[in-house]
């Protein structure tokens, strides 16, 4: 699949639920209203739609949420997609998780064909972790990371950089990742959804973070890529890597290769735009596989050149009203 700007679209991010067992301050409101079950695609519907994307050349699928591992029987979807891994099919099946249920499922994920997982973790300080997540216990996540590594999964930490919250934690996190054989990826906060907080106060440009880290660490830019938007640097002192995802300070859209499918069957061609295609109606209206393929191709033909996120004190509303947990993290 090729979009109007000549970019090959080979990466599908699939949200399987809008629900989560945490309430991270940059992602959700404390009192969330979740979608009714009837609005959510069944695992069979998600599998069928993923199959159509794979037939069109999608090589990588990442399962996201909400927190994907809170969805009942989600391992059946992993097993079905894992069976499509191989020559002429899917090249990689991955997962983004908050880690709270990783200890329970790590072995089964590895058996299904998952080889890498991203764990969202914004601090190693137990009290700060509970404050950021509003309810979590970091010991549960650390146990999940250990279980994932014991199951043979490569782990990467995803950390949202928040001014005044965790900006003093990155040196310790980089050192910890080095000791445990883990890569770290820092992410700028994005203006999605009403989280009852001031994003202008949360926003921390990663250009500033990188400059601070270079006071202690030797960072050398590398061509390493995982298929996503992160730009990676080798960390000489640890032998690991650190990535930076910068939707605010550097628009990375020129190399965008991905689209996002929500748990309701809505396909967003760009995280930062509202245009979407409704596949739930097609699936439940009896569309044949050829109809799904045609609808996917029509959607890719509308993929925009890029997003236009802005964090501005003069605006008292997010750039987009939908929460990240709805779109898929």
Q: Of residues 323 and 165, which shows the higher confidence score?
A: 165
Edge-to-edge strand order for the sheet containing 276-278? 219-221, 231-235, 240-245, 183-188, 154-161, 116-120, 92-97, 60-64, 11-15, 258-261, 266-268, 276-278
> According to the model, what pLDDT value does residue 288 have?
96
Q: Is 177 annotated as a binding residue?
A: no
Do 67 and 82 form a contact (C-beta atoms < 8 A)?
no
Q: Say if residue 14 carries a ligand binding annotation.
A: no
Question: Could you tell me the CATH superfamily of domain 11-327?
Answer: Aldolase class I (3.20.20.70)
Cβ neighbour number for residue 254 with a 10 Å cutoff: 9
> For position 25, what pLDDT does the model report?
86
224-260: pLDDT as tens digits = 988 778 999 999 999 999 999 987 655 557 778 999 9
Q: CB 82: neighbour CB atoms within 10 A?
A: 18
User: Where are the strands (E) in the chain, listed by range?
Assistant: 11-15, 60-64, 92-97, 116-120, 154-161, 183-188, 219-221, 231-235, 240-245, 258-261, 266-268, 276-278
Does 260 belong to an annotated binding site? yes
Is pTM beyond 0.75? Reply is: yes
Which of 52-61, 151-160, 312-321 is least confident? 312-321
Mean pLDDT across the chain: 90
Higher-pLDDT residue of 134, 274: 134
258-261/266-268 β-pairing:
antiparallel
| 45 Cβ contact partners less than 8 Å away, ≥ 6 residues apart | 265, 280, 283, 284
pLDDT for 307: 60
- Give the integer Cα–Cα distance in Å for 79 and 110: 10
Among 161, 119, 162, which residue's Cα sits nearest to residue 142? 119
- The mean per-residue pLDDT over the stretch 177-195 comes to 83
Local structure of residue 189 (DSSP, 8 states): -
- C-alpha 260/C-alpha 13 separation (Å) is 5
> Is position 60 annotated in a ligand binding site?
no
pLDDT of residue 218 exceeding 80, the answer is yes
Annotated binding residue 27: yes
165 is in an annotated binding site: no
**What residues does each domain of the chain span?**
11-327
66 is in an annotated binding site: yes
Q: What would the two tokens of residue 166 be? A: 């965790």
CB atoms inside a 10 Å sphere around CB 222: 12
pLDDT at 271: 77
Whether residue 146 is annotated as binding a ligand: the answer is: no
Question: Is 50 annotated to bind ligand?
Answer: no
């Amino acid at each position: 699949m090729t979009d109007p700007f000549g970019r090959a679209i080979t990466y599908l991010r699939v949200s399987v639920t809008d629900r989560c067992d945490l309430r991270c301050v940059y992602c959700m409101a404390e009192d969330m209203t979740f979608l009714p079950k009837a609005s959510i695609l069944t695992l069979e519907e998600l599998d069928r739609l993923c199959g159509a994307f794979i037939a069109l050349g999608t090589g990588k699928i990442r399962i996201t949420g909400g927190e994907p591992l809170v969805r009942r029987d989600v391992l059946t979807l992993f097993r079905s997609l894992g069976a499509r891994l191989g020559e002429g099919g899917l090249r990689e099946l991955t997962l983004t998780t908050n880690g709270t249920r990783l200890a329970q499922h790590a072995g089964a994920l590895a058996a299904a064909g998952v080889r890498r997982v991203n764990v969202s973790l914004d601090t190693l300080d137990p009290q700060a972790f509970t404050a950021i997540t509003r309810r979590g216990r970091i010991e549960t996540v650390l146990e999940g990371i250990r279980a994932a590594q014991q199951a043979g999964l490569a782990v990467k930490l995803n950390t949202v950089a928040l001014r005044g919250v965790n900006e003093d934690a990155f040196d310790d996190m980089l050192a910890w990742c080095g000791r445990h054989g883990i890569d770290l990826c820092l992410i700028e906060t994005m203006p999605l959804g009403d989280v009852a907080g001031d994003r202008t106060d949360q926003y921390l440009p990663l250009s500033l973070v990188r400059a601070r880290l270079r006071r202690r660490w030797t960072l050398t830019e590398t061509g390493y890529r995982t298929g996503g938007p992160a730009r990676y640097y080798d960390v000489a002192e640890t032998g690991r890597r650190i990535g930076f995802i910068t939707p605010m300070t550097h628009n990375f859209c020129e190399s965008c290769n991905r689209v996002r499918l929500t748990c309701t069957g809505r396909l967003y061609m760009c995280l930062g735009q509202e245009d979407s295609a409704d596949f739930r109606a097609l699936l439940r209206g009896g569309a044949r596989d050829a109809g799904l393929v045609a609808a996917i191709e029509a959607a890719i033909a509308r993929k925009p050149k890029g997003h236009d996120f802005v964090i501005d004190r003069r605006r008292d509303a997010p750039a987009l009203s939908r929460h990240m947990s709805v779109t898929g993290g």
